[in-house]
A and B are shown apart, each in its own frame.
Chain A
Amino acid sequence: MFHAVTAGALMVLGGCSGSYSALDPAGPHAQTIAQLWWVMLGGAAVLFVLVMVLFVLTLFRPGFGSGVSPRVWIVAGGLLMPIPVLVALTFYALFQGERLLPGRDDGGPVYRIEAHARQWQWEFRYLDEPGTPSTLDVLHIPAGLPVEVVATSADVIHSFWVPRLGGKIDATPGHAARIRIEADQAGQYGGVCAEYCGTGHSGMRFRVEAHEGADFRALADRGFAP
């Protein structure tokens, strides 16, 4: 039993880390969303256990809950319980979402790149480095600075996603949608195409390399050549 529990715990903990794990955040955006997830997971667990316990009790304990009128059952369980939870959660999520949006980051510096997708490759263009060549399947970003990603596509719909740095955004042909990501520290982070885009979808992965300020500047100045 002890071994099973240990194995289970290890599995879950080991499962959270990894170069693509949204539960192993490496920047403030992914951190915010991960926090939202843990809060919702806790709330969901409580509600789930509550309803299942009530069900089992009504089924196996004759007379359980018969002192409460059907109307009270329905009003309490169907209205009074969910409404405050849902209202609070919706506003909390809306507030968090607003914080993560492009243009809402207290007006500080932002590094802008374009993620241009095609079957089955990512081309990253550095909008703040005029004349610098674009890079393929590797995105260099400065650490500690919000990065605004403009997702575009040359053919079908793709989706830009770096789980450890923030949410995903679709690259739809004819549109340019934006999202922000950020890495706290220098390092390498895995990225994937999240929208099915044809037979090369599984392999349409890329790598984000975050560099400390001075390193990044030097790298950018030599056109991201190694």
Chain B
Amino acid sequence: MTTPAKPDPVALHKALSEAWGTKPGLGQLAAVNHTSIGKRFMVTAAVFFVIGGLLAMLIRTQLATSRSPFMEEGTYAQVFTMHGTIMMFLFAIPMLEGAAIYLLPKMLGARDLAFPRLTAYGYWCYLFGGTMLLMALLFGVAPDSGWFMYTPLSSSTYSPGINADVWLLGVTFVEISALSAAVEIIVSILRLRAPGMSLERMPIFAWYMLVVAGMMLVGFPPLILGSILLEAERAFDLPFFDPTRGGDPLLWQHLFWLFGHPEVYIIFLPAAGMVSTFLPVFAGRPLAGYRAVVVSVISMGFISFGLWVHHMYTVGIPHLALGIFSAASALVTIPTAIQIFAWLATLAHGRPRLSIPMLYVFGFLFVFILGGLTGVMLAMVPFDWQAHDTHFVVAHLHYVLVGGFVFPLLAAAYYWLPHLTGRFPLPQLSKAAFWLIFIGFNVTFFIMHLTGLRGMPRRVHVYPQEPGMELFNLVSSLGSFVMTIGFALVLVDFVLQARFGRHAGRNPWKAGTLEWAMPTPPPSYNFASLPAIDARADQLDPDALGPQLAAGKGYLGFVRHGQMETLAVDPVSGRLEQIIVLPRSTFLPLLTALVTGVFFLLMLAKLYALAPLALLGVAGMFLLWTRATGAREDLPALDAGRGEQAPVHFQSRGAPSEWAMVLTLTANATLYASLLFGGLFLWVSAPGWPAEPTPFKTNVLLQVLALGALAGTLLASRRSLRAGAEGRIGWLAVLAASHLAAAVLFGLMALELVPFNTQHALFAVIFAVYFYAGFHSLLGVLFALYGVWRVLSGHVSAVRDLDLRIGARLHTYAACAGILAVVFVWQLLMLGSGGAPA
């Protein structure tokens, strides 16, 4: 293949725009470009923020007086549940995903993320899931058990309507976007960087997002598992959480907070990462203590998974055990303090410039530090016994989340909006808006600490007519309206900026990161050619680099066969490794998300017999995605520009998609581990264990046969990879048959548990474990047959075996999960029936 001649910048821009652009009109629904999708995430999240904020206004209106007739308690319950749910799941998480999706490729020197169609699919899942929740609110059937959905209140006995189902299904639908973003972000940060950008040259924001995405990958599965189990209890009467049948409400609390606490850091860290990115720009010097910050962020990621019990100090866990979580909760202050002092050191050693973003940084530190200090107070067990579930906690969590996310996010918005719009905001309006928000926020929430200690529990819609309490609540309500006016002004400011702001030009803040080495607003392809990085990527010179890249002097400064190409590097050294050919705009993500939505709607409508058909439809849609990938012939190494060559990704070891499979299975394994943990937890904690003797007998023959079939899949999967062209199909067929046999056997074993699985949680857990194993064997069948199809259609050769290698990861996982299922069930039966296997 010959190197195309280097065109002039204008022709290059036209050719790249032709290849990367999305068609206007309906064609926009097919967009997969990270700039478009990132903006959609952020705008949608902002809309949800407005809705969540209006709900908060309703709450403050109700609480302004002690016996307000404004809302009756059922409506109030829906309002406060939806306020929390929207702010957490539909505003904060999607907003940070959107910011990361928009910024990361630009900061890392790539033209897009690793899996553009997955980004788009995640967006549609978020939009549709969020719409489901909003519709429920409009029709008055919104979730009403509080945003952490404690069961038994959320069980079918005490919440018989569809309200709780809307939460469980809607939020799970939305979380598809969180998991897909997590995979996407990890692979993109580790692989899709500009050549020369080694790990230690990464911009600090990429480090933060790498940790955050890793936390999302293992933080969300416990919640998703909990939601599945609770929905299964509501829909099929499997008593995982029912204390009268061997279940335990505390299992839900553990699963929820195992997610819920890391969630706080998942929200805070991206915001802190943005501060670490732009604060040095305004200090006029690089971030002090880059390494210390990286280490502190990583340690925060780990510690945050050891704190969840501090939401459960009042459930009756032994005090010394609480002591460990109390100490861990105090410990997490240290990495936070390290970051704050790294920022102070940066300012002390620089020449700080005052600006709107720095004004918000002041607001951020003021509010967030107060939230952190009350957090340390709440980490102390005796104090929490008083403050837990009161308005003190409401105040604390708003100080942490608004301080730790909204203030830095607004700072970031003022910093990066010139990038999105190419214009500056209006400084007078921006300042007025800041002070209204800052004063309004503190008036609302500072006094609320006292309201809580004064004895006002959370989630009450009326309270005693005592002078102190009435005055405090009135002050909070007044403050909240001031804050709302501030947010409205910010919105006006943004709209005015987009229309009338003065032009910002390239790199208006004199930053040193790559996202400024492009025209603003950014073109669809980001960089006309990709940079070679020889310094830390927050100390570059975008003013010099930008024109060079625009002139096509970097890597890939050309369009090859109209393809969308970017580069992959070695994750550690940043050495050029692969040329990634990205898929084009397509309606498939939208259509697949629609079919996914049909599944959730069928579940919501309780049409359980039809729901598996929708899942089959989703699988079919995903198979269609693969038609655009790979090639039918082996390609030689391709020209990467700057005199270097690299193989195309589907002929490389460790292609991004293989990494994605490994990461997806990691998330999946976390979900499975949570299920097995759940079974053991019930044995330890739930009332009604060991189970009463039942006539249930395990069928050892089926178990042994299943183990045999699983061993068969392991063997066939290995052989299919090693076999030459002639043997592949045969081994893949054996593989599919073994998976099918295993699936059928797990299905039979699960059927034998009926009806015991509704009588005691022991059998419900075993049923779930068998279901999980059987489901993965079915996935194995799908992947084996997919392999056959790819071989038959000529997409597989000795060097083009990516499809088979991705499959092999799943086959191995399914076999291990199945074997573990059999062993675990054997153990749990022995423990749960008080002695020998039943």
Contacts and interface: CB of A to CB of B under 8 A. Distances in A.
Interface of A: 11-12, 14-23, 30, 32-34, 36-37, 40, 44, 47-48, 51-52, 54-56, 58-59, 62, 64-66, 68, 70-71, 73-74, 76-79, 81-83, 86, 89-90, 93-94, 96-98, 100-101, 119, 151, 155-157, 159, 161, 163, 166-170, 172-179, 190, 192-203
Nearest to B77: A199
Interface stretch (B13-21, B462-470, B556-564): B462-470
Given A16-B450, A156-B153, 19 more contacts: A11-B468, A19-B464, A22-B454, A52-B366, A58-B344, A59-B347, A59-B358, A70-B288, A70-B345, A74-B345, A78-B335, A86-B334, A93-B381, A172-B315, A173-B152, A179-B385, A194-B388, A196-B145, A202-B73
B153 A157 contact: yes
Contacts of B686: 174
B385 A197 contact: no
A70 B686 CA distance: 52
13 contacts: A19-B464, A21-B454, A23-B453, A52-B365, A59-B362, A64-B348, A73-B345, A77-B337, A82-B333, A93-B326, A155-B157, A176-B316, A179-B385
Nearest to B335: A78
Interface stretch (B119-127, B191-199, B243-251, B533-541): B243-251
B234 interface: no
A202 B460 contact: yes
A163 B327 contact: no
Contacts of B390: 194
Contacts of B153: 156-157, 196-198
A65 B345 CA distance: 8
A178 B316 contact: yes
A194 B365 CA distance: 31
Contacts of B335: 78
Given A23-B453, A77-B344, A86 B376 contact: yes
A179 B382 CA distance: 11
Given A18-B466, A174-B249, A174-B687, A194 B352 contact: no
B316 A175 contact: yes
B351 interface: yes
Contacts of B524: none
Given A51-B340, A94-B323, A174-B687, A196 B146 contact: yes
Nearest to A164: B455
Interface in B763-806: none
B77 to A, nearest CB: 6
Contact of A97 (B292, B352, B381, B472): B381
Contact of A74 (B289, B331, B388): B289
A150 to B, nearest CB: 10
Contacts of A173: 152, 243-244, 249
A82 B334 contact: yes
Contacts of B450: 12, 15-16, 23
Contacts of B292: 74, 78
B388 to A, nearest CB: 6
Interface string B304-346: 0000000000111001001100110011011101111110111
A217 B529 CA distance: 89
Contacts of B326: 90, 93-94
A34 B344 CA distance: 34
B74 interface: yes
A66 B349 contact: yes
B413 interface: no
A54, A119, A194, A202 — which one has the most chain B CB atoms within 10 A of its CB? A194
A56 B333 CA distance: 22
Q: How many of chain B's residues touch chain A, expressed as a range?
A: 35 or more
Main DSSP-derived SS at the B contact region:
helix
Contacts of B243: 172-175
A55 B150 CA distance: 41
User: Which of B74, B388, B458, B472 gathers most chain A CB within 10 Å?
Assistant: B388
B380 interface: yes
Contact of B389 (A59, A83, A194): A194
B469 A18 contact: yes
A97 B310 CA distance: 14
B457 interface: yes
B340 A37 contact: no
A176 B687 CA distance: 10
B369 interface: yes
A157 B150 contact: yes
B383 to A, nearest CB: 5
B344 A54 contact: yes
Nearest 5 interchain pairs by C-beta: A167-B385, A177-B316, A20-B455, A174-B243, A77-B341
B249 A172 contact: yes
B139 interface: no
A86 B376 CA distance: 8
Nearest to A43: B373
A86 B454 contact: no
A58 B377 contact: no
A169 B366 contact: no
B468 A168 contact: no
A199 B158 CA distance: 11
A19 B338 CA distance: 42
B218 to A, nearest CB: 26
A30 B390 CA distance: 16
A224 to B, nearest CB: 24
A78 B468 contact: no
A192 B455 contact: yes
A55 B347 contact: yes
B303 to A, nearest CB: 13
B702 interface: no
A68 B380 contact: no
A177 B315 contact: yes
Contact of B334 (A54, A79, A192): A79
A36 to B, nearest CB: 5
Interface string B122-156: 00000000000000000000000110001011000
A65 B453 contact: no
A126 to B, nearest CB: 21
B70 to A, nearest CB: 13
Contact of B330 (A18, A86, A156, A179): A86
A65 to B, nearest CB: 3
Contacts of B158: 119, 155-156, 198
B72 to A, nearest CB: 8
A93 B248 CA distance: 30
Given A77-B337, A78-B296, A22 B453 contact: yes
Contacts of A65: 344-345, 347-349
A100 B382 contact: yes
A40 B315 contact: no
Given A193-B457, A200-B73, A89 B380 contact: yes
B246 to A, nearest CB: 9
Contacts of B469: 15, 18
Given A167-B385, A174-B249, A15 B454 contact: yes
Interface centre among A20, A71, A178 (most CB of B within 10 A): A20
Nearest to A196: B459
Contacts of B338: 74, 77-79
A168 B250 contact: no
